[in-house]
Structure formats: C-alpha cells, structure tokens
Amino acid sequence: MPFITQTQRQSDYNLFPSTTPIVIDNGASYFRIGWAGENDPRLIFRNIVQRPRHKATGETVTIVGDHDPALLKYFDCTRSGPRSAFDSNVVYQFEIMEYILDFGFDRMGADGSQVDHPVLITECVCNPVQSRSKMAELLFETYGVPSVAFGVDAAFSYKYNQQLGVCDKDGLAICPGFSTTHVIPFVDGEPVYQGCCRTSVGGYHVTDYLKQLLSLKYPHHMTRMTWEKVEDLKMEHCYIAPDYASEARLFQKGTKEAEDKTRCWQLPWIPQPVEEPPSEDEIARKAAIKEKQGQRLREMAEAKRSSRINELENELHGLEFLLQQLENVEQNDIPSFLSKTGYVSKQEIESAHVKVTQSLRKAKGEPKAEQVDIEEKMDASTTEKYPLINIPDNMLSPEQLKEKKRQLFLKTTSEGRQRAKQKRFEEELERERQNQQDEEKRLENPELYLEQLRARHRELSEKVEQRKRLKTNGGNTNGNNNFSGGVGRGERLNAAQKERMRLLTTAAFDRGKGEDTFGARDEDWQLYKLMSKDNDDDDEGPDMDEAELARISSRLQDIDPTFVSRPEVGPFQPVVEIPKFRRLTQEDYQVVFGVERFRCPEILFHPNLVGIDQVGLDEMAGVSMKRLPSKGQDVEERLTSSILITGGSSLFPGMSERLEAGIRMIRPCGTPIRVVRASDPVLDAWHGAAAYAAALRFPEQTFSKMDYYEKGEDWLRRYQLRYTL
Amino acid sequence: MYDKYPKGQNRSRHWKHLKQILQAENYQNYPPDEPNYVNIGSPPSMHPCKRICDITGFEAPYFDPRTNLRYANADVFKLIRSLPNEYVQRYLALRNAAVVLK
C-alpha cells in the first residue's frame, strides 16, 4: 500500500444535500471517509497522529496520518511517536479520535462549525458500551451531527460481496484485520453474534514478528528496519505455506527450491575505493626515496659519531697530560694542584681516564668481547671492591657497617643482573633449537605438519574462547535468572565467586546484638578490597595458551595461503557478525530472508508461536460453528460452502488453500467447502457501508441526538443494525 | 486548548484502557449467552503446540534448559550458547516467554 495517501481537500462538500450520509470506515490501520453511494472513499489515511514540536518556533503541531519524511526534519520528533486511538480494535483515546475526525471532515470540505450530514461509522464486533457512547457523544456534541449509525465492518463487507454474488446468504466471514481476527457466521443474511469468535492476532503482530526476527539476525542493520519498511517487505514477500513443516524441511535441506524462494534485500552501499597495487615505477620511485632518506640518516649518525670520538679523544689527552703533570709535581703540592683542576684525588683521575677510554672504544665500535673482558675483570675484583663483606659484623664500626650494607646490596644486584642475562641467553638458544626442529619437520612432511598446526590452532582457540566466555558469563550469570548478577540454581561457583559469597555473608551476618556495626571500624572496609574482581588471580594456563595461540596463528599466516584467523559463519547464517578485519563487501549489506517469508504469517494460524494462547484461523471456524445457537447439519454445510475472506491481512498468497485444507481437517469427510476471497479485501468494508447507507431505508437504522439522551445507555447497548434492508 | 477542558484541568485527561473499560462494563450482570466483548474471545487451541526453532524457524525437537530456547540441531545449539543474554531474552520475548521483572 503506498504511503502517500490522497489527502487533498475536497471542494464539492456543499453540492451534497444534507440527507446524504457520510460513511466512515474507522479501522485500526486506515481511516476511510467518503460519501454514501459513491464507488470509492474520498480520503484514505493511516489512523495515527503525531504531535511533534517545531524546532524553531517551539509550538506543537499535530500531524494526522502518515507523513512525508522530508517535511519532518523541521520538527523535533524525539518525544512524539505516532499514537493511535485504538487499543486492540476498540477506540479508547477520544482526544486523538477528535484530531482524526477534525482532519477527515476538514479534508472532505466541511467549513461550517457543524457537520450537517448523518454519519455511518464502523466499529468492532460487540463494542463496549462506553466506547460506543463516547463516540456518539463526540459526534453529536463536537460536530453537531444530526444522526449516527454504528455497524460492523466485516458484516458490511460480507453483504457487499453477497450482493455481488461472491458468497451466499448463509456463510462464514473470516476477517483477519490489523490487530485482531474475527470469524462471524451469517444465517439468513444477518450476522449471528453468538457464534462470533475473535483472536488477538492480526497484521500488526505479523509485521512486528518479522521486524524482531530481522533485527535479531542483522543487529547492525537495525536502524534501517523501520516499522513501515518492514510492513512493505511483508506485503511484498510474505506468503503462507500450504504446510509449514514440509516447507521448513525444504529450507533445512538447502535444496534448489529453497534457494529460489530466498529473497535478498540489498541495502545501499558505497564500495570503498580499491587501492590499486602500485605500478612498477611507483615502487621504484618509493624505493629510491627511502634509500636517500636512509643515506641521509646514516650520514648524520656518522657525523655525530665522529664528533663524539673527537671529543672523547681530547678529553683523554687532557687527562693523560694531567696524570703526567701530577707525577712531576712534588708530594706536598698535590692537593693544591689537584684543587685547581677539580679532581679530588689521583684515583679519581685514574677512574675517569678508564671510563673515557671505554667510551671511546664503544664509540669506535670495537667488538664486545673486550667489553666482556673488562666486565669480567671487574667481577674478579668484586671481592676487592666489596672488601667489607667478608668481615664479620662485630669487628666493624657503625660507619663501616653502613658501608658493608651498601656493598652487599650492590653485589647482589649485579649478580642478579648477570643471572638474568644468562637465562635470557639460554632461552634464546632453546627457541633457536625449537625453530630448527620445526623447520626440519616442515621440510620433511609439509602436509602433515600443516594439518597438525591447524588442528592445534582450532583446539586452542576454542579453549581460549570458552574460558573467556566463562569469565564474562559465569561471572554475571548467563540465563534467565536475576539480572542483578545473582546466581541461579544449578550454577556452580568457581573459587573466586565462592570466596566473595563467603565474605558477603559473614559481613552481613547479624550476630543478634541488635545493631549492625559494620563500618564502624576502618578495617571493615578492607573487605571490599578482598572482594574486588580486579584482584582475581588469573591462572597461568590461559596466558600460556594465548601465547601459544598467537605463535601458531602467525606461523599459519606465513605458510598457509588459506588461513583465516577467525571462526567461520555457519551455512544457515544465524547471526552475522560484521567482520572488522577485512574489507566490507557487498554481501555484508544484504539482508537475506527465506524462512521468515512464511514463518511470519504462520502466526495467524498458530498464535502459539508468539505466545498468544488462542486458536488460529482454521480452528476458529470450527469454534464459531460450534457456538451457533441454532444447530442443524444443513446449517453447517451451508456455512462451509460459502466462506469469505476479507480484511487487509487476507492478502497473503496461499491463504485460501491453507484455510481450505485446515477446515477440511476439522469437518466431517465430504462436506462441501468453498473458500472465496472478497473482491477487494481492503476496501470492501467501506463499499458495503456506502451501499448500505445509500439504501432508502437507511434513516430508520440511525439514531439521533434526542434518542441518545432520552433512551439512555441501556438502549444503546442493545442497539444493533439490521443488515438486510 | 483551554476551551476543551472547561473544568480547569490543564492537561489531557487520562483515558481508560481496554482492560479498565471491560471491567467497568460489568458483563457478569447480564445473561451469559448474550454476546459481549469478552465472551466472543477465542478459547485456547486444542491442537498440540507447534515447536519450531527460535532462531532458524525449522522444526525443533530439542530444548536448551539453561536458556529456554528451542533449537533444531547442534550448530544452532553452539550459536545459542554463545549468544549474549540480551539476545536470548529478545528471542524469548518473541514467544512471550521472557522473564519479566516487575
């Protein structure tokens, strides 16, 4: 159904005499209004109202019916969703009804303050008196309508088709509507409401089901699936399978037929510009630039190194000169001579000299072996460096004790450093050896090696994932139980959780002294530190596993051309994750639905699928016939031989066949069953009502304002239309 | 807008929902064979409940006790066990079987 509905203002309102009734089909989905006796309603629009605020002026505007999305950008729609006057096929919000009627009458051309025409309006079956009386009040008081009549839309549709010859005088009207489904038997042309049956499933529930299913299957496209769009999809693609189980089996097997029946919705998608692999010139040019940059850097490093070497050599010369001078100077003059230069003693000068020679050697890049020699020489002299260590404590003075402590500390740290270096060296050797072994294995039997590696990778990734899942799920219970993080029955706690529970219960334990003194002392709050989840010790296992997993993945990536480092999606695509590590392709923007096509309308026949505990369409016919007060074999036969399907949700392909098969199952063998669809399931209710209102004897069926006030509510309750005039 | 609410209310009145309307109707005061809104409702189904997989829609002979979802085969089961809780509740809500905390 197109959403751009006809809502131009009609200009011929004044041409109609005031006896011509206005016919309104007040449905939960669409509102249709027009003149009696015409072929089509003048106006059709969705029966919803929106009240957004204008962004600039701040005033609230009322929009009736479906809107043009382009206009709505001037309004702030966050707090105004579409609102309907209906609560499951009964009107309860008369303020909204007033807006809608305002709009309807206005577009019909009414300009005066009163609508001077009798009005025929549709309602649901057995409408509660309150709703009916409020509607009458609204029409009489606010609009000044002279007389009003209420009728059932399905009945009008049946009568209209009876006039057309589609169905007989006795029959069954099955009307799947927007929010409910009705089955009404007709005997002698009049509906028998005692036999009527109503289930609370309708087109709205089918659309909602489809929307939920698609959003769950494609969560990242959820914003594109608005209710209107899904309704469009439903109307275009959904169908009713003649037998649900066998259709489902077709799809489960993945046969060619199932492939044909699967539809795919392509969302708009802009492919990312593909970077062409750079041509040869590009590569050469880039390589040359890199070369040049490298060269420049190397030159700079060279220059720095040579300047540093020069500096150091100068320093070295200076120090040597100083040493020579020192030897020439006499013993007494040493302190004064030394103070001029800034060094305190000869040893300092010597140590400075040694350091500078070392740095020079390093700068010149001589092999490390000499370094090691020097270090070893240093080690050999540790005992001389730390002379105080071996002397027992009681022979030393306090100052010397302090000195000894310091030397001990230095010695242990340097020994520790050496040990660490040794370990690293050994590990390196070990890794080298393992790599060599791996290489040998690979070279001798590449296939087997690859297989082993892949299997190991799979194992490890599963283990790691499972552990990760346990951590996040086991900590906050997976399952239907409390959301507050409690633990349900049958959940086993791991050690950390057990500890936490224990701490909590001991803290909360009421020792019977009356007052709870937790928190009075500061130490109590240490409890929370103990309980903190951050302090959980991770077991060593996962880290090792993860490290090995990473190593194996990198190996596989190097040698296996078909390796993809992520688990693959199953064949039936239950939940599609957006792969973040590879480029988005066209397939990611497609919404595929196959099973949903016939799964969603199935709820009309099996409301149990959505948790509504009522009978479906085929059984409803049986229930309705059972409820009929006047029993007799012929009546039932006559009813089943003229079954009319009307209403907006009856447009699914395959409904008639399915209904026929279903009713055949519950009727005795051989009864004549004929199922026909109304000539125009959507608009027939209005057509029937218009034809009815144009009849000569229509004014007898209406009631006026006087009647309404004099006769009271009880009379209104018993008011029913007679459909054969 | 003030002329719509002459009694001095300055906000829209609260309209009764269907359940409240039906309660106020007092259908038990009237003879039970007269059709009214409540007694034309359908009864529960006599046929056995159709069990389909919550996720794929195929026929589902199996049931997961931890999440209360129905599933069709082992692959679906693996998927169910890896779903976050939010999705599990949404699938259950489709069937009106989600846990609602009041």
- pLDDT-based confidence at residue A181 (cuts at 50, 70, 90): very high
Q: Does B60 touch chain A (CB under 8 A)?
A: no
pLDDT of residue A426: 92
Indicate the CATH number for domain A13-158+682-718: 3.30.420.40
Torsion of CA A397, A399, A402, A407, to 10 degrees: -90
Q: Which residue has the higher pLDDT, A468 or B63?
A: B63
Lowest mean pLDDT of A48-62, A194-208, A407-421, A540-554, name the range: A540-554
Q: Report the candidate in A250, A214, A245, A216 with the shortest Cα–Cα distance to residue A232.
A: A214
Instruction: Count CA within 13 A, CB hemisphere, residue A610.
Output: 26
Phi then psi for residue A119, to 5 deg, are -125, 130
Question: Under an 8 A CB cutoff, do A481 and B99 touch?
Answer: yes
Identity of residue A362? K
Lowest mean pLDDT of A348-352, A359-363, A479-483, A623-627, name the range: A479-483
- pLDDT-based confidence at residue A300 (cuts at 50, 70, 90): very high
Q: Which residue has the higher pLDDT, A586 or B74?
A: B74
Q: Report the candidate in B78, B85, B90 with the shortest Cα–Cα distance to residue A477.
A: B85
Question: Under an 8 A CB cutoff, do A92 and B75 touch?
Answer: no
- pLDDT-based confidence at residue A254 (cuts at 50, 70, 90): confident
First and final C-alpha spacing in chain A: 33
- Model confidence at A424: pLDDT above 50: yes
Lowest mean pLDDT of A54-63, A110-119, A478-487, A685-694, name the range: A478-487
The model's pLDDT over A429-470, given as tens digits with 9 standing for 90+, comes to 998 998 888 788 777 777 777 788 778 888 888 887 887 776
Q: Does B44 touch chain A (CB under 8 A)?
A: yes
Lowest mean pLDDT of A25-34, A414-423, A436-445, A695-704, name the range: A436-445
- Model confidence at A481: pLDDT above 50: no
* Consecutive H or E run containing A357: helix A346-364
Question: Under an 8 A CB cutoff, do A196 and B40 touch?
Answer: yes
- For B68-74, what is the mean pLDDT? 88
Residue labelled with tokens 């839309």: A153
ipTM: 0.88
Q: Does B48 touch chain A (CB under 8 A)?
A: no
pLDDT of residue A380: 46
- For A77-86, what is the mean pLDDT? 80
Question: Under an 8 A CB cutoff, do A480 and B22 touch?
Answer: no
Say which residues have a Cβ less than 8 Å from residue A90's Cβ, sequence separation at least 6.
Answer: A124, A127, A128, A131, B18, B21, B37
pLDDT of residue A555: 74
Question: Under an 8 A CB cutoff, do B49 and A608 touch?
Answer: yes
Tell me which chain A residues have a C-beta less than 8 angstroms from the C-beta of B15. 92-95
- For A14-33, what is the mean pLDDT? 88
Minimum CA–CA partner of B55 in chain A: A574
pLDDT of residue A716: 85
The model's pLDDT over A152-173, given as tens digits with 9 standing for 90+, comes to 999 999 999 998 988 888 899 9
pTM over 0.80? The answer is no
Q: Where are the domains of chain A?
A: 13-158+682-718, 284-385, 445-477+487-503+534-572
Question: Under an 8 A CB cutoff, do B45 and A619 touch?
Answer: yes
pLDDT of residue A491: 55
- pLDDT-based confidence at residue A572 (cuts at 50, 70, 90): very low
Lowest mean pLDDT of A20-29, A44-53, A330-339, B23-32, name the range: A330-339
Report the 10 Å Cβ neighbour count for A62: 14
What is the distance between the alpha carbons of residues A53 and A57, in angstroms, rounded to a whole number? 8
**By CB neighbour count within 10 A (0-12 exposed, 13-18 middle, 19+ buried), where does A366 fall?**
exposed
Across the interface, which of B12, B21, B76 has its CB nearest the CB of A131?
A: B21
Site from B22, B56, B88, B96 to mutate, A interface, most A CB atoms within 10 angstroms: B56
Instruction: Count CA within 13 A, CB hemisphere, residue A387.
Output: 3
The model's pLDDT over A577-586, given as tens digits with 9 standing for 90+, comes to 444 445 566 6
First and final C-alpha spacing in chain B: 37
The model's pLDDT over A588-597, given as tens digits with 9 standing for 90+, comes to 778 888 888 8
Instruction: Count CA within 13 A, CB hemisphere, residue A229.
Output: 14
